Amino acid sequence: MRLLISLLTVYMLHNQYPYLRPVVRLTSIRRQDLYFQNCKTSFSLGKSFYIGHIQSHSGLPGPLAEGNDRIDRTLIGEALISDPVALAKHDHERFHLSSHTLRHKIIKEQARMIVKQCPKCITLSPVPHLGVNPRGLMPNHIWQMDITHYAEFEKLKYIHVCIDTCSGFLFASLHTGEASKIVIDHCLQAFNAMGLPKLIKTDNGPSYSSKNFISFCKEFGIKHKTGIPYNPIGQRIVERAHRTLKNWLFKTKQGQLYPPRSPKAHLAFTLFVLNFLQTDIKGQSAADRHCHPVTSNSYALVKWKDPLTNEWKGPDLVLIWGRGSVCVFSRDEDGARWLPERLIRQMNTDSESSCKYHSED
């Protein structure tokens, strides 16, 4: 509703008891006929009246200003009554505010969706997130796949990388490009080394969103999931694997035990060191965790806070306790939930989680 610039009020005198009557709301000169029509109606009543222009929000004493304030409050109340979600969308369109600022009596998820749907903000700022990269509950449950470049390999500088999010097992292969057919070749090599995954998470690159790769995943019964556009946070695990792989390529290049003679031999030796020789605090390598997953009948009980509703739930069982994140099996929702470690409160300190995997980031 448009706010009124002026308000015309007729002040009627009847038996010394004044009362106010709004004549018309003039929004343009074309509405003058309605004003004169209301004046004619007032003349026909045969009562004494006074016509005047009252400034809004003047705060002057007297019945005229008081009556004008009553009408003004009524009109402003009607104008300001709106849907909170629509009001938040309107504010974001004008000022491009963050999701934390947009919370006009709406929940966090609604504010996040408003920011995600803005075509300008999504390319310039990271999308709000819950701070957790979901990991697989068992080996070959969830993979993350991406492509990185290593200029020293020249023509074979395109390194296609797959990592199992539960065990941390890393596989990479060298190729001459990023086409969808090359991605399929890399996947077949990864299946031969690691097995068949249930879900592969990639970015929105043209090679991963092509029809050839989508049909390839359907043929093998693999669920394909893409991340948020322009937001690499959803691929954080494989992005860290890129950094780790490049650091170890630099280390093994200068090693005295096995000087690499070709890019493929160099990469194979680096993957051997990362998957079979590097161990965690329990003395297990990535290959051990991938081929022989450790399970236990003892589960930790924790209470956890829902980041969407700010309500504490539980106690529930811990399935995986990673670095900075915890996978909790929610009995109410009958499913697993990945949560930041700061939202977890442990109930019993004697029990350990079933698969407490600490990855080297």
Averaged pLDDT for residues 337-361: 62
pLDDT at 61 over 80: no
Instruction: Enter the DSSP assignment of 153.
Output: G
Residue 275 pLDDT > 80, yes or no? yes
Grade residue 37 by pLDDT with cuts at 50, 70 and 90. Answer: confident
Counted residue by residue, the chain has a size of: 361
Question: Which pLDDT value is given to residue 109?
Answer: 85
Q: Minimum mean pLDDT among 123-137, 244-258, 271-285, 298-312: which range?
A: 123-137
CA dist 223 → 143, 145, 205, 230 (Å): 10, 13, 17, 22
Comparing 113-127, 203-217, 346-360, the range with the smallest average pLDDT is 346-360
- Whether omega before 139 lies within 30 degrees of 0, making that bond cis, reads no
Highest-scoring range by mean pLDDT, 18-27, 33-42, 337-346: 337-346
| Confidence class for position 178, pLDDT limits 50, 70, 90 | very high
Other CB atoms within a 10 A radius of the CB of residue 128 amount to 17
Write down the pLDDT at residue 256: 62
User: What's the token pair of residue 204?
Assistant: 């929105």
Distance of CA 75 to the CA centre of its chain: 39
Of residues 245 and 338, more confidence is placed in 245
Asked if residue 243 lies in contact with residue 149, where contact means CB atoms within 8 angstroms, the answer is no
Q: Which of 40-44, 87-91, 166-170 has the lowest mean pLDDT?
A: 40-44
Residue 253: the pLDDT is: 81
Q: State the pLDDT confidence band at 73, using cuts at 50, 70 and 90.
A: low
Higher pLDDT, 192 or 314: 192
State yes or no: pLDDT of 16 exceeds 60.
Answer: no
Residue type, 198: K
Q: How many CB atoms lie within 10 A of CB 308?
A: 12
Averaging pLDDT over each range in 40-44, 58-62, 208-212, which range is the top one?
A: 208-212
242: pLDDT strictly greater than 90: yes
Instruction: Give the three-state DSSP class for 281.
Output: coil
* Most confident region among 46-55, 284-293, 331-340 by mean pLDDT: 284-293
- Residue 17 confidence (pLDDT): 40
Q: Hey, which residues does 224 pair with through a beta bridge?
A: 200
Confidence of residue 168 (pLDDT cuts 50, 70, 90): very high
285-324 pLDDT, tens digit each = 999 999 987 655 556 788 999 888 888 988 888 888 777 7
Average pLDDT, the chain: 78
**pTM of this prediction?**
0.54
- What number is the average pLDDT over the span 212-239? 87
Mean of pLDDT values over 95-115: 82
pLDDT reported for residue 319: 82
Q: How far apart are CA 78 and CA 179, in angstroms?
A: 58
Which residues are 313's β-sheet partners? 304
CB 51 within 8 A of CB 39: yes
Angle, vertex CA 123, rays to CA 122 and CA 129, nearest 5: 40
All structural domains of the chain, each given as residue ranges with its CATH number in brackets, are 7-80 (no CATH), 84-124 (1.10.10), 142-291 (3.30.420.10), 295-361 (2.30.30.10)
Sign for the pseudo-dihedral over CA of 32, 37, 42, 43: positive
